[in-house]
Amino acid sequence: MKTAAPRTAAAAALLTALAAGCSGASQTPAPLGTTSSASSSAHAPSPTSSGAGTGWLAPPASIALPAGLSFAWGYTPSGKADLDQAVEAVEDINRAEIAGIGSNPQNPNMIDFGRYASGQTLAWIRATFTDYARNNETWTGAARFYNIATSDFQGSGVGESGIVQFCSDGAALIDKNRRTGASVADPSGTALVTFKVTAVPGGWQASNFTAVVKDPSCDAG
């Protein structure tokens, strides 16, 4: 596991800013082993019957999370300029990290990431692949996607779970090996997801805040 570069303060500040911007979403971690939807109802409008929509579906119950993790969605509602700024800040944080982070040998399409010294992990790592065939799935469409994985933080035994989101066909929610959610078309361009993981008694837990932010590069298709 790679040790975090000296950008911990920037990462923590970004997480704090994103959390503060998501009005209406509880910041209290959900109980271990649950899937929290506290921020989903406030910030994730359902798509229309045609599949188009301005938001993302709440995470389906079928998403396979390791024991001891909870998960929820939320938006940063401050407008495109703030979202773009957040994207740039996150990419700046990860740019120094990504060159030294190796692929998980058990799953070549997933990337491990390091734990920040603050106890919070900004799990936002960009990866590009031509398809998903190496993981027993074949995907058509955009090759560019973002991979978020919870990957055995410092021997916690949590294991792995991932969410992959393709730029071209909306919210493709999958776990490490199988698709568990439907595509949602988003005519404004696709979004990305971040979450933080904090140490709790007995293991690790994702807090019930997640920021959905805009990636301008997805607009180009």
Mean pLDDT value across the chain: 30
Q: Comparing 30-39, 85-94, 197-206, which segment has the lowest mean pLDDT? A: 30-39
Question: Is residue 89 included in any domain, yes or no?
Answer: yes
DSSP reduced 3-state for 14: helix
DSSP notation for 181-196: S--BB-TT--EEEEEE
DSSP notation for 116-142: PTTS-----EEEE-S-SGGGT----S-
Q: Choose between 17 and 111: higher pLDDT.
A: 17
Question: Is residue 195 included in any domain, yes or no?
Answer: yes
pLDDT for 34 equals: 25
Q: Looking at residues 16-40, what average pLDDT do you find?
A: 30
Question: Is residue 216 included in any domain, yes or no?
Answer: no
Q: Is the pTM of this model over 0.75?
A: no
Q: Which two tokens stand for residue 79?
A: 């407008």
Q: How many C-beta atoms lie closer than 10 Å to residue 130's C-beta?
A: 8
Tally the domains of the chain: 1
Q: Looking at residues 189-211, what average pLDDT do you find?
A: 30
Q: Looking at residues 157-180, what average pLDDT do you find?
A: 27
User: In which domain, by residue range, is 26 found?
Assistant: 8-42+60-211
Question: Is residue 1 included in any domain, yes or no?
Answer: no
Question: Is residue 220 included in any domain, yes or no?
Answer: no
Question: Is residue 54 included in any domain, yes or no?
Answer: no
Confidence of residue 76 (pLDDT cuts 50, 70, 90): very low
pLDDT for 81 equals: 37
- For residues 31-53, one letter each, b for 16 or more C-beta atoms within 10 angstroms of the residue's C-beta and e for the rest, the string is eeeebbbbbbebbbeebeeeeeb
Confidence of residue 48 (pLDDT cuts 50, 70, 90): very low
Question: Is residue 177 included in any domain, yes or no?
Answer: yes
Confidence of residue 29 (pLDDT cuts 50, 70, 90): very low
Distances from the Cα of 208 to the Cα of 88, 117, 185, angstroms? 23, 21, 25
Q: Choose between 16 and 196: higher pLDDT.
A: 16
Which runs of consecutive H residues, i.e. helices, occur in the chain?
8-21, 40-43, 80-98
Q: Looking at residues 165-185, what average pLDDT do you find?
A: 27
Question: Is residue 48 included in any domain, yes or no?
Answer: no
DSSP symbol at 88: H
Q: Looking at residues 134-163, what average pLDDT do you find?
A: 28
